[in-house]
Chain A
Amino acid sequence: MGILTLTAVHKNFGETEIIRGVSLDIEQGEKHAIIGPNGAGKSTLFHLISGLHRVTTGTITFKQNEIQNKTPYEVSRLGLTRSFQVTNIFARMNVFENVRCALLWSSGYRYSFWHLLGSQGEINDRAMEVLDQIGLKNKALFPAGELAYAQQRALELGIAIAGGAELIMLDEPVAGMSHSEASNAVDLIRRVTAGKTLIMVEHDMNIVFDLADRISVLVYGEIIASDKPENIRANSRVQEAYLGEVGSNA
């Protein structure tokens, strides 16, 4: 059994069935991409795994813990982190504070009101390291809400990876970026997820085929194929359901 296992996961919103029996097994260290047409339920699946939504039926197991009924912060504490499709940062705090906050729990500070964080010491050094990794070291004291879009996306990634989670989930990490920004972002993702397990939702097929070891295709709440990139490309059902559609749009 892999690091993350979904078994017969269903999610209904009222009468509407959005996720219709998804089973998926993600191996430790795997780079897994989830693709599918708009409205297929990719983001909902992310929300279910990360605890934002509750499953209707089915189980989700992360490192031998059943997490389908846990809150986002409980899931996060187990070492599962995620980014968001829409930039989701702490806009009024500076860039450094954004990353340092993301480090607090994993550094063992919990809800402490008796430790002073100061400007020296391990957590501050570690926050600067993360800023260095995501290329925002020279923006450390800049208000996060005033960064350029691509920089906010980098910060979003920085917040997600800062705590050293083993499983990183990225929801359309390069959406809305220019070509060169996207290619920088892909390099960055590759660097910061080295040795970690990655699940990503992405529309840009070049990036998906470039980054992923394995691809799952989600169509109308069901996974119709889950395989190596070359097999997915050759799969006729996938071409019909998804790749063909993208091709005709392009």
Chain B
Amino acid sequence: MMASIAKLSLWAGYLLVLLALPQFFDSILSISIFNQMAIAIIFALSYNMLLGQGGMLSFGHAVYFGLGGFLAVHTLILIENGSVYFSIIFIPLVGGIFGLLAAIFIGSFSTRKAGTVFAMISLGIGELIAASSLIFVSFFGGEAGVSGDRTFGPLFFGVDFAQDLEIYYLAAIWVFIATVFMYLFTQTPAGRMANAVRDNPERAEFIGYSARRVRFISFCASGLFAGIAGGLFALNYEFITEENLNAATSGRVLLMAYIGGLGYFIGPIIGAVVLTLMNSLLSNYSELWLLYLGVLFLLTVMFLPRGFAGLIMMHQVAWLRGTLRRLALPYLITGIPAFIFILASIAMIELSHTDGEVFHYLGVSLERGSSIDWMLIGGIAIAAFLATRKSLQQLKDAWEDANTLPGDEDS
């Protein structure tokens, strides 16, 4: 009972945050970022149904997102022409249904095996659809894509969704609904068996389940939600192009889910938020943001195989034991030189990339031609790196201390 109340309040909190965000950040830029986040959250969660929960590594998940999005834009055009008549709030569902249909068709043969075979088929299908999008111009609109207008159709309680903010509230509701249903899916027999098939497809067959059928169901559900995300994208941008179903988009959703943490339901949400922020904010400051994203991904794979969500969950034991506070100072001792090292490294990277002779960085003007500047930053970077390395031991000790019960020390 207590557990279910805690769970319900968690969901209520999630809804509240979604609805309250524009009250605190109401600039045009933040609303546009929130809309991107909403789309990314649904898309990344749907990807996690494949990889995190079902053990299917897909390199072509954008296909379902993009196809859903294309059909959504075409539906907007139909609404505009007066051929069909319904409120645009249902457009994400149109995208979802098309994503589902595509997944039923492609999943019928691609889910036969997991592992490399599945990954290669997903890659092939992704390339195939991306290539077709430039061939079947009447549906995909060639390189320019297709565009629509979301302000036609019947008003929804007087709202015509001309403003991005109105779209945000619509997106927030869809994100909430989609998150709830994707979570509930994990609690059903099909969702639990998806985990079982991920862990051990052979054994799953000996408890009565066809691994292929179990994968197929997850695959279809995943296609449905990817399509919903695509439909939301169509509503938000009112246009869609081949870029939204190609390998780059497929790669981005993989990064989101992975960096966020595949093993946890909340992981892809974290990943979607972090990557959208990086994408929108960092790209304003540096042309090299993709490089930083790549480094972040590498570091995550190497040092945080369970992603950001895993990093947070690692602290559960210390939190429950009330020893979390003991970690604060050790984290600072390691964190400060590590932060300086990162800043100095970025300075060197940006300085070697800058077009001008002078690079303004953190209130300092660095000269590209000045060897003194280079030596200075290099020296700081090396010193900070060594200090970070030296401080790791105390962090390890503090970690042991915070995670060991008083009684365990003898062992």
Contact = CB atoms under 8 A, between A and B. Distances in A.
Given A90-B199, A91-B200, A93-B195, A76 B205 contact: yes
B196 interface: yes
Nearest to B3: A119
A113 B195 CA distance: 14
A64 to B, nearest CB: 19
Those 3 A-B pairs whose CB atoms lie nearest each other, nearest first:
A105-B208, A109-B189, A72-B205
A159 B221 CA distance: 27
Contact of B203 (A90, A92, A115): A90
Interface string A105-121: 11001111111111100
Contacts of B207: 76, 81, 101-102, 104-105, 159, 162-163
Contact of A104 (B192, B200, B202, B210): B192
B188 A101 contact: no
A149 interface: no
B190 to A, nearest CB: 4
B187 interface: yes
A71 B207 CA distance: 12
Interface string B179-222: 00000110111111101101110111111111001100100010
22 contacts: A71-B210, A72-B202, A73-B205, A73-B209, A77-B208, A90-B195, A92-B263, A93-B196, A93-B199, A97-B195, A100-B192, A104-B208, A111-B190, A111-B193, A112-B188, A112-B190, A113-B185, A113-B188, A114-B188, A115-B189, A159-B207, A162-B207
Contact of A111 (B184, B189, B202, B205): B189
Given A90-B200, A113-B191, 9 more contacts: A73-B210, A76-B208, A90-B195, A100-B192, A112-B189, A116-B184, A116-B187, A117-B192, A163-B207
Interface residues of B, number: 29
B199 A104 contact: no
A116 B188 contact: yes
A105 B209 contact: yes
Contact of B206 (A73, A92, A104, A110): A73
Interface in B55-94: none
Main SS class of interface, A: loop
B208 A111 contact: no
A32 interface: no
Most-contacted residue by chain A among B185, B187, B188, B217 (CB, 10 A): B188
A113 B192 contact: no
Interface in A68-110: 71-73, 76-77, 81-82, 84, 88-93, 97-98, 100-102, 104-106, 109-110
Nearest to B189: A109
A172 B199 CA distance: 22
Contact of B221 (A113, A116, A117): A113
A102 B208 CA distance: 8
Contacts of A98: 196
Main SS class of interface, B: helix
A117 B187 contact: yes
Contacts of A59: none
Contacts of B188: 112-117
Contacts, number: 100
B192 A106 contact: no
Nearest to B55: A92
Interface string B155-195: 00000000000000000000000000000110111111101
A102 B207 CA distance: 5
A98 B207 CA distance: 10
Given A97-B195, A101-B196, A50 B206 contact: yes
B217 A163 contact: no
A113 B217 contact: yes
A92 B221 contact: no
Contacts of B206: 50, 72-73, 76, 81-82
A89 B208 contact: no
A119 B207 CA distance: 21
B217 to A, nearest CB: 6
B199 to A, nearest CB: 4
Nearest to A82: B206
A116 B191 CA distance: 10
Most-contacted residue by chain A among B185, B195, B200, B214 (CB, 10 A): B200
A144 to B, nearest CB: 8
Contacts of A100: 192
B310 to A, nearest CB: 13
A106 B189 contact: no
A34 to B, nearest CB: 18
A73 B208 contact: yes
Nearest to B214: A111
A229 to B, nearest CB: 29
A139 to B, nearest CB: 17
Contacts of A52: 202
A94 B187 CA distance: 14
Nearest to B195: A93
A90 B208 contact: no
A59 B205 CA distance: 21
Contacts of B191: 113
Contacts of B213: 111
Contacts of B199: 89-93
Nearest to B200: A90
A119 B4 CA distance: 10
Interface string B330-367: 00000000000000000000000000000000000000
Nearest to B199: A90
Interface string A150-162: 0000000001001
Contacts of A102: 207
